[in-house]
Amino acid sequence: MSFLKQNDPEIYKLCEEELQRQSYNLEMIASENFASPAVIEAMGSVFTNKYAEGYPYKRYYGGCEVVDKMEQIAIDRVCKLFGCKYANVQPNSGSQANQGVYQALLQPYDKILGMDLSQGGHLTHGAKVSSSGKTYQSFFYGVGSDGRIDYDRVRDIAKIVQPKLIVCGASAYPREIDFKKFREIADKVGAYLFADVAHIAGLVVANEHQSPFPHAHVVSSTTHKTLRGPRGGIILTNDEEISKKINSAIFPGIQGGPLENIIAAKAVGFYENLKPEWKTYAKQVKINAKILSDILSKKGFDIVSGGTDNHLILISFLNKEFSGKDAENALGFSGITVNKNTVPGENRSPFVTSGVRVGSAALTSRGMKDAEFTFIAEKIAEVLNNIGNEKVYEKVKKEVYELSSKFIIYDRPTY
Ligand code: DSN
């Protein structure tokens, strides 16, 4: 008998509803994934009851002897995974991880240089609406007309701006990021190089994407995207002085008691990432994204940068009458969940946009491979070629239901 069902039927019912939604739609938001039942079990564990301000073996509370062992295991596993020396596993999210990095390395009004949000960057990379753009003077680089980062241009901007820190890493960039080139640029202007690998971390740890180490001074990531762990953040470095500053910035700088149940789940996630099967998963994630890109491109859709090197593609509708919002809605009605996204050369508002971002990580976790992704690409094209045609949406929704029923995510309730 479920405790939740017994004690709070209203929330139980919504958990059930969400499980149905996740099970019978195709989750293609590039930043989402399906955590394993073991990860979810750890998130719901008794570690949630424990206050443990401080770090392993240096706490401000008694009764931390078990939490200490557990958090140390999480640290050791993530260091092994990324091949680095120091890790902070306490950030509650990617945004707080990034805020911690800035607080550790910068003073208010220092200059930072990051990727423009509208060209694939992230809010926390200096966008004016985020604390990163309010606390620091932020400047931006973007992509060239080929949809790829123009490293010569980044260097030119860096020379003019003279930032104290350069952020690389993106939220909507389908190509490999060249951390070595970024480090060369950072060294030329005497800046820290900060790599936010949230999107590509699961590929990096499988050697399916260049590693930010040894190039970046500091690296952050979320743990719930391609890494497939619980929702949360991490900060990594090889530099002892930086690691001390990071630890003070996270606690007591911006956070209080760490979410030890989430840290336990992070440890479980890292254990899964360290298994040999992880490499097979990461390879398939890339193969699946490439299938989407190849088929949609053959069917006449404009794929930003002409393809993908990672887990996502960006489809541009700059040359179409419908918007990213229209496409997101149409695919949503058809059971395919994606998000609208700005594209390079954007001429619509961020609430409307001219593109959608489509990711392969979550469905690959469900076991879908070449044949399923070929089918899905064809369905996406069918919907996009019939915007406004509800009969097509209904037909595709049925087909999506049939496909997803064969790839059930959780064979028993995990809540
Ligand atoms: N909002 C996340 C994404 O979708 O990429 C990043 O924080």
Q: Do both 82 and 57 map to the same domain?
A: yes
Which residues 6+ apart lie within 8 Å of 96 measured at CB? 233, 250, 254, 255
Q: Do both 220 and 265 map to the same domain?
A: yes
Residue 2 located in a structural domain: no
Q: Is 51 an active-site residue?
A: yes
Instruction: Measure the CA–CA gap between 26 and 400, rounded to whole angstroms.
Output: 7
The catalytically annotated residue of 222, 226, 237, 308 is 222
Q: Is the CB of 354 under 6 A from ligand 1?
A: no
pLDDT digits (tens, 9 = 90+) for 71-103: 999 999 999 999 999 999 999 999 999 999 999
List the CATH number of the domain containing 153.
Answer: 3.40.640.10
412 has a pLDDT exceeding 70:
no
DSSP codes, 218-285: EEEEESSSTT-S-S-EEEEES-HHHHHHHHHIIIIII--S--HHHHHHHHHHHHHHTSTHHHHHHHHH
pLDDT digits (tens, 9 = 90+) for 153-209: 999 999 999 999 999 999 999 999 999 999 999 999 999 999 999 999 999 999 999
Instruction: Measure the CA–CA gap between 386 and 377, rounded to whole angstroms.
Output: 14
Q: Do both 94 and 121 map to the same domain?
A: yes
Q: Do both 236 and 322 map to the same domain?
A: no
Q: Is the CB of 33 under 6 A from ligand 1?
A: no
Question: 31: CA distance to ligand 1 center in Å?
Answer: 6
Residue 158 located in a structural domain: yes
Instruction: List, in sequence order, every residue forming a beta bridge with 115; answer none if it has no partner.
Output: 141
- In testing the pocket of ligand 1, which one of 96, 225, 353 has its CB within 8 Å of the most ligand atoms? 225
Domain count, the chain: 2
The catalytically annotated residue of 5, 16, 24, 53 is 53
Residue 106 located in a structural domain: yes
Confidence of residue 415 (pLDDT cuts 50, 70, 90): low
413 has a pLDDT exceeding 90:
no
Domain hosting 356: range is 9-18+26-35+282-404
411 has a pLDDT exceeding 90:
no
Q: Do both 400 and 253 map to the same domain?
A: no
The pLDDT value given to residue 197: 98
3-state SS class at 413: coil
Q: Do both 259 and 211 map to the same domain?
A: yes
Q: Do both 231 and 340 map to the same domain?
A: no
The pLDDT value given to residue 214: 98
Instruction: Provide the percentage of residues in the chain whose pLDDT is more than 70.
Output: 99
Instruction: Measure the CA–CA gap between 25 and 336, rounded to whole angstroms.
Output: 6
Residue 85 located in a structural domain: yes
Q: Is the CB of 94 under 6 A from ligand 1?
A: yes
Residue 45 located in a structural domain: no
List the CATH number of the domain containing 318.
Answer: 3.90.1150.10
- Which residue has the least CA distance to atom 4 on ligand 1? 31
Question: 1: CA distance to ligand 1 center in Å?
Answer: 36
**Last residue of a domain, which of 210, 240, 273?**
273
Residue 332 located in a structural domain: yes
**Last residue of a domain, which of 241, 273, 305?**
273
Residue 384 located in a structural domain: yes
**Last residue of a domain, which of 213, 241, 273?**
273
Question: 94: CA distance to ligand 1 center in Å?
Answer: 9
Residue 413 located in a structural domain: no
